[in-house]
Structure 1
Amino acid sequence: MKIEAAVSRPGTPAPAFEELELEAPRAGEMRVRIVATGICHTDVHEHPGRHSPQPIVLGHEGAGVVEEVGEGVRDFAAGDHVILSGASCGACPSCANNRPTYCDQAMPRCFGGQRMDGSTALCAGDETIHSHFFGQSSFASHVIATDRTAVKVDKDLPLEKLGPLGCGVITGAGSVIEALKVGYGDTIAIFGVGGVGLSAVMAANLVGARRIVAVDLAEDRLELARELGATDTILASEDDIAGKLRAITGRGLDYTLNTTNVPAVHTTALDCLAMNGTAAFVAAPLGQWAPAMFPMLAGGKMLRGILGGDASPSLFLPKLIDYWRQGRFPFDRLLTFYPFHDIARAFEDIEAGKVIKPVLMMEANDAA
């Protein structure tokens, strides 16, 4: 069928709209009509072609309605409402342990721009267009997604708000709840309060952390962090951030979560830990960086990388939705809506830090 999609091509400032051909779902796949999709920094970083082949349709925070299912799909039917998350094989040890973000095939399935057999679901005439970005490629009116990529949700939920749950929100909240298992009375500092960091702030507040410190360069984001549960905030441009953080508790933090790729911030996130503390990160340092090993040894400290919040979308996203219904996890306060055809403006705004989580609406008149 013919669809409209925003295609990333070399040398362009943002994805541009084209009419493409989308093939029918194969075994284990479904066709989903996209209602809305979030834009993640990963999309922005991948647009120039860092890891994925081009031309490609990006987008990996989609939400929509199932229109057709392929052979062997048992848990979904036409008309179901779904959130789309990452791709995984379902057979490796990580998938068997409900940790699909650490799937043995995670990189080729999410960044390869094709199915594992080398085929794609998209074309423009005779030209191959790469698809299946994170198992979905949701910068499009319709997508082909695997059944493992989809999470069914109740039809009374606002689909236009749910897409960001599949990546940015699950990464922040899952890092706190699933990976670090922050509990009542614990202390945590969160570096960078964009979509991932603010989701972590809300999760730490949800589980009853005693001190939740937000660190960022932007005063307006720190103010929002306070509204969402941060007990303390520090402007990242101040001197001796690690010392200020240690002073808040008198001994340092039990946990830190770094959402930035700044090497100096990675150092600070380790320096401010209490004995036996854990410094977690969801973005690798940009450039050369090495931790100070003796303080880690002497303090029994841990440095830990986290992908996708260590969370299984099919198990964790329904919990976050329940918390949202209860008014305890107001992730929708992070969202700014754009008509689908304003994708270039949305890319500009997220790169400039004007918005936290842009969401593209497939119908322009639905945008707020």
Structure 2
Amino acid sequence: MRTERLATDPASISRAAALLRAGGLVAFPTETVYGLGARADDGTAAARIFEAKGRPSGNPLIVHVPDAAAAQALVETWPPVADRLAAAFWPGPLTMIFARRADRIADVVTACGPTVAVRVPAHPVARALLQAVALPIAAPSANRSTEISPTTAEHVWKALAGRIDALLDSGPCERGIESTILDVTTSPPTLLRPGSIPAHAIAAIVPLRDRSGAIVAPHLRASAPGSHARHYAPRTRVLLTHPEQVRATVDALVAQGLRTATLEHGRTTEAGAHAELLPSDPVAYGAELYAALHRLQDSACDVLVIADVPEEPGWEAIRDRLRRASAPSDENP
């Protein structure tokens, strides 16, 4: 398959919208990561997402719409709490899970479940595309399943060129960490995936239930998109360690003849032949994380040593991604 690499001018947006309406796959930027889009109302089109990504069929997809009114058209019940959350965080990196209308969304999108995950992205290109296509668009991250999420068009091209119809290239994503996912079918809402909007910011708007932390087996329907134990992971083996133990860990690995790379934050480092140093602020760290992981994965090292991050508010989404990136690969083959 030939993949078109498009700009983000009006003609390119129109071309991408036409491809989507015809059942094609189009990767496009959001404020978090690049998404891989297909019609959410067309089971054949949406099934192509799973094929292109190698994604398990039991892992549901997030549906993107241009505004809250379009979201309401997809759901069976719109609880009052959703109005407060939408007013506070949409457009933006918040995904809400609702009881779905079965006649509006293809079963493959929801893994045949009774709920649908919906968000209204803030990125101007994503919003222009959704307005142009005038359809709900299912769009997980535009990467191969369980691997590092893409925050640049080059990341998408490397993973999916030849597997999708088009890529809208809008440069780097602003935030880098995926959307926060809340289940609003429960009272109070339940946090299913920490993300770009921290839990304490949501709790300031509505009461919030902590997520259970239960691991969902790969062959079962996941409770939310991207909630399997191993996700967002480099192909390189990952070791998560205390910041003060990075040097010793690297030395021990080198003594075994292993090539190492390191990812640290907040201070100068000389650990390893390939090293990335990220900011000590969680928002800035999150914006740079996936791009750093892509660079380190491409360094052809045997082991990636990552310094763990603080157990403090604002870091929960980062901790979640690092723990799943370092989970044993046999948990989600």
Q: For this structure pair, what is the TM-score category when the shorter chain's length is used for normalisation?
A: under 0.3
TM-score where L is the length of structure 2: 0.25
Higher relative CO (Cα under 8 Å, sequence separation at least 6) belongs to: 2
Answer 1 or 2: which has greater strand percent: 1
Greater Rg over alpha carbons, structure: 1
